A and B are shown apart, each in its own frame.
Chain A
Amino acid sequence: MVPVAFPPVTVTLIWIAVALFAIGLYLSWTAGRLDRLHARIDAARAALDAQLLRRASVAQELATSNVLDPAASIVLYEAAHAARQAEEEQREVAESDLSQALRAVFGDVDQVEAVREAPGGVEAAEELAQAVRRVPMARRFHNDAVRAARALRRHRKVRLFRLAGHAPFPLAFEMDDEPPVALADRPGS
């Protein structure tokens, strides 16, 4: 025997309220998850931008330093300049072009050695080596975050209840980021 007997309608209403509360809790938890993923993408994107900018700056510096031959200087300067000035839609192409230019100019170990022998060249070569290695790293972390967010956003509950709000659907950053062999002689990655 139930000590206090509610009419059946009330019992049903209580159960509905409990169910709604549970669903609400779950949805708010999912929204929190999504929010965190978006924050992660923003941070990863900022880091990627920083690395790309660093790479373009070092490349431009080297191109104007008179260490390289005039032809290589122009190729590198053009690509680095284009990468820095590129509009958002052209960015991936411009950055890929810079990767290609870097590979063309620093494809040879001797070229890297020549840079190192110039005054201040050891630091410049080291900076460039770091930059070309960190770009793929940052890009991988960014795209990993994008993939996680996209997987969640495609979910029915997120679409149905518009949990993502007005946040734009996250896009991966696709580019050719293969570093020049002479600068990044490491296994894997």
Chain B
Amino acid sequence: MKIGIVCPYSWDVPGGVQFHIRDLAEHLIRLGHEVSVLAPADEDTPLPPYVVSAGRAVPVPYNGSVARLSFGFLSAARVRRWLHDGTFDVIHIHEPASPSLGLLTCWAAQGPIVATFHTSTARSRAMVAAYPILQHALEKISARIAVSEYARRTLVEHLGGDAVVIPNGVDVDFFARAEPKAEWQGGTIGFIGRIDEPRKGLPVLMKALPKILAELPETRLLVAGRGDEEEAVASLPAEMRSRVEFLGMVSDEDKARLLRSVDVYVAPNTGGESFGIILVEALSAGAPVLASDLDAFAQVLDQGGAGDLFANEDADALATAAVKLLGDADRRAGLSERGSAHVRRFDWSTVGADILAVYETVTDGTTSVAADERSTGLRARFARARD
């Protein structure tokens, strides 16, 4: 099958959506499909052979932060050319509602279009205002995928219609086979995520730490992620600061080893999560997981079956749950075992098969993807001639 995948965010900047697309593309290529990924990228970035650059992404303020997006005349022309040259059986757009390549492709293409909605933040104002513009482009999508039941609900509320739920994929064996590191073992709690992003929940964990240390003084907290380390421990009493170790940004290998080593992995995120790939990675590594009870997290953890949940933003509840888990080796072993079995459904072998099933469903009984000449006839031809 010839598959075109559209990435809305700059390939140069690491991010969840980009990693997902990279892994999906490589998985599909291994299965023998022809895959081309269209993504914004700087001219001098080395790109894997299956990625086509759509030009530089421009940093613009969008949705409360600065996002690097691609739009405008040149990008639209590149999209058309890619569609024209690719002759794809199906195209798979990610984040079609963000003002970037995904939306442009929706606008410019016709034929079987699959779209994955990743985020589920309730940005109702922008959605409502942009609705008439979006509607016309989104109508062309033949199949929608949401990454979690939660993301699907938000999608239904904001845009109407329906979607199938296919979770994000993880290479489970990569994490399951990682070698634990001795210095990270023995009464350790793990945390991975941006230190200075409050929604990742490190402040909640810091508030709970004194209580955990009061019960189990030998506990260590290992923090991997970018951010101001001084500021992160500012709320802790001075004598406890030595129990926190900052590892900075870690490589994928070290991340896997860290997750294999820790006694408990804590995800205290306070919101803004539509899936929780890090939990899936922790489960893959066999780490007992303790997470806040966000909708998305509860779903990944099988409503508490594959990992413990605590009341969101409640530091006391976190401390109690962590102490209980750290003191009970049997329970940890049980969680680890159930987690490892549960996480198989997030492996690329399963997720990839589901995504392919969607491709096959939408290509049943239709022709291949083509540039949509009907809506933008003259202008489109002019644009292609110019590029």
Contacts and interface: CB of A to CB of B under 8 A. Distances in A.
Interface of A: 29, 32-33, 36-37, 40, 42-44, 46-47, 50-51, 130, 133-134, 136-138, 140-141, 143-145, 147-148, 151-152, 185-189
B167 to A, nearest CB: 6
B232 interface: no
Secondary structure of the A side of the interface?
helix
Given A32-B375, A44-B142, A144 B163 contact: yes
Contact of B364 (A32, A40, A50, A188): A50
A25 to B, nearest CB: 12
A168 B199 CA distance: 49
B140 interface: yes
Contacts of B164: 136-137, 140-141, 189
Given A145-B142, A187-B167, A140 B162 contact: yes
B312 interface: no
Interface in B354-377: 354, 357-358, 360-362, 364-366, 374-375
Contacts, number: 92
A185 B357 contact: no
A144 B161 contact: yes
Given A32-B374, A144-B161, A188 B152 contact: yes
A148 B365 CA distance: 20
A133 B358 CA distance: 10
B142 A141 contact: yes
B350 A187 contact: no
Interface residues of B, number: 35
B162 A188 contact: no
A43 B142 contact: yes
Given A46-B365, A187-B300, 7 more contacts: A40-B139, A134-B357, A141-B142, A141-B144, A145-B142, A188-B152, A189-B164
Contact of A143 (B136, B139, B162, B350): B162
By Cβ-Cβ distance, the 3 closest A-B pairs, closest first, are A188-B165, A46-B365, A47-B364
Contacts of A189: 164-166
A145 B366 CA distance: 14
